[in-house]
Amino acid sequence: MGRERQKARVLRQSEWWKRRLARGTCHYCNRSFPPRELTMDHIAPIVRGGKSTKGNVVPACKECNTRKKYLFPVEWEEYLSSIGKENPGL
């Protein structure tokens, strides 16, 4: 797991990631945020075998990232449905 976290640190410094943050939009809720308020979320969580690659990381607001925790997108959708919310970002 340490290796994936190191790769995530490298990705955070990349121009690619900085451009993603500059859009200022949370992948999950589609709300706008200043780039410094967005976090890097692993779509497939590291603790469940996800990798720190461009195809597996997205900008997420702190609220969505904290609530999503270690869930896969389909599990996140099920959670949102269970509490009566829709998620336009997925």
**Mean pLDDT taken over the chain:** 90
For residue 90, give the 3-state DSSP assignment: coil
The answer to whether the predicted template modeling score (pTM) of the entire model surpasses 0.85 is no
Q: What is the DSSP string of 33-76?
A: --GGGEEEEESS-GGGT---SGGGEEEEEHHHHHHHTT--HHHH
Q: Give all domains of the chain, ordered by start, each with its CATH number.
A: 2-82 (1.10.30.50)
pLDDT in tens, 59-79: 999 999 999 999 998 998 898
Q: Do the beta carbons of residue 88 and residue 29 sit within 8 Å?
A: yes
Binned at pLDDT 50, 70 and 90, residue 83 comes out as confident
pLDDT at residue 86, as a whole number: 63
